[in-house]
Structure 1
Amino acid sequence: MSKSSQTDLIKAGQGFIAALDQSGGSTPKALRLYGVNEDAYSNDDEMFGLIHQMRARIAQAPAFTGEKVVGAILFEKTMDGEIGGKPSATYMWEDRGVVPFLKVDKGLADEENGAQVMKPMPDLDALLDKANGKGIFGTKMRSVIHAANAEGIKAVVGQQFDVAKQIIAKGLMPIVEPEVTISIADKSEAEDMLRNAILAELNALNDDQNVMLKLTLPNTPNLYQALVDHPRVLRVVALSGGYSRQQANDMLSQNKGVIASFSRALTEGLSAQQDDAAFNGTIEATINEIYAASVAG
């Protein structure tokens, strides 16, 4: 597996990154939307087994290939499992041509100054070593901004880049994800502050320290163009953040050089009750829609 060929695919590939990384808190909702209710499992192991089946089914769909899906973000338990008889990350790259990433954060701390930084990650180095051993290319970690509060935004971005440097030192590509909540009244102001805070951190990186950015679709099209064009940024991807797939795709297509990294918008319309023909047809139509919006910019 060549890191350089994976880097080239993420940097220049036409397509988007699938977010298949729902964790413990969001898994029950993801399963419900997939037509699997809480009475279908009696403990966490069974719950994660069911979500793994859903992810494996998506990954094995004929349309899920590097032709339109350049990367996939995996949850740790997905990485530890198998798809098609191979370790999940190996299957993604060898069988589908899709670059594997790993979600590494442990959830969010309590809100402070209108923002939630990430909980401490004392075991991060060990997890990164494991990821390297399993052929993972990069990582993803999420914080959330709930207000245009300069102090809160600075704390989120500062922490993200501090951890990103730890990840880079292990030879992995970090996806920095400071999500802005889409429903807040001062979203535009928060996005201006966020862009400026990220630019300051990017400008302080060394020439051998590169990151990816995963950002909420901005109210102002091309607001993040300076980040897209920055020499320290491999790629800027967008999260759907609660927008419907249609709205997310419409907004995405107005942002030049930004590609999708959708989670819920990717699985919208999929159901455990669908037979393979219906399931594969639905995911193909979804992939085509998100791909079209990703390459439109």
Structure 2
Amino acid sequence: MNLESLIEINPIILALVATIFTWLMTALGSSMVFFFKNIDKRLLNSMLGFAAGVMIAASFWSLLKPAIEMATNQGDIPWVPALTGFLAGGTFLLMVDKILPHLHMGLSTDKAEGIKTTWQRSILLILAITLHNIPEGLAVGVAFGALANTPDVGILAGAVALAMGIGLQNFPEGAAVSIPLRREGFTRFRAFNYGQFSGFVEPMAGVLGAYLVATMKPLLPYALSFAAGAMIFVVVEELIPESQRGGEGNETDLSTIGAMLGFAVMMLMDVALG
């Protein structure tokens, strides 16, 4: 099946299929916990850096740049939807981060963020992991939802590239979640289950994003920028600090190199395919 034939399919269905793919890639990465009990800190930092690089590149090439172009074509001031949506996305994640109880990996329970609660440590950990998968699913859904108003092969190719890039970084991300959970004392099956479940939110966010932009065309540039802002918030607030934690000298260089490679790979995929 070629890209031209895919245009005839309902964009919401395409978004669902694409985000199921990204979820499965998370599950595949999480399955590494059945083969490894520990993960080298340098490798973990490199994988987190790679994921950060992919998300940064996707935020511009797959989301902000198309948003600016769409606003221009609609006769709007190009920077208004991009700036407004970008800041709204970051603000939304900031609010959720302040409200939703969650705990980042490797920290003690008293360092939990959000509203104070007596929830178990495992629940707080999975909520932290799930939180940053929402923007990824939303981004893929919005990209495919654009086809409802502009059934163009170029837009479809860009959406496919974005889904592939997110899926690519979800594999090491899944491993980076499940294996440390195993080190926290979880059984292999429980660590895998929590790791793959963190990606389950992506199909839900993807379908929601696709539906919103498919039914409200003027919303599209704002929705693309919103997803970009949410993704950048996650990168700066979580992925980059986590990739630098516990390392020094050459060890932190590895996470930086990983981020550069992730950016380069995502940029290559988006430009080549989109």
TM-score scaled by length of structure 2: 0.24
Higher relative contact order (Cα pairs below 8 Å, separated by 6+ residues): 2
Normalized against structure 1, the TM-score is what? Answer: 0.23
Say which structure is richer in strand.
1
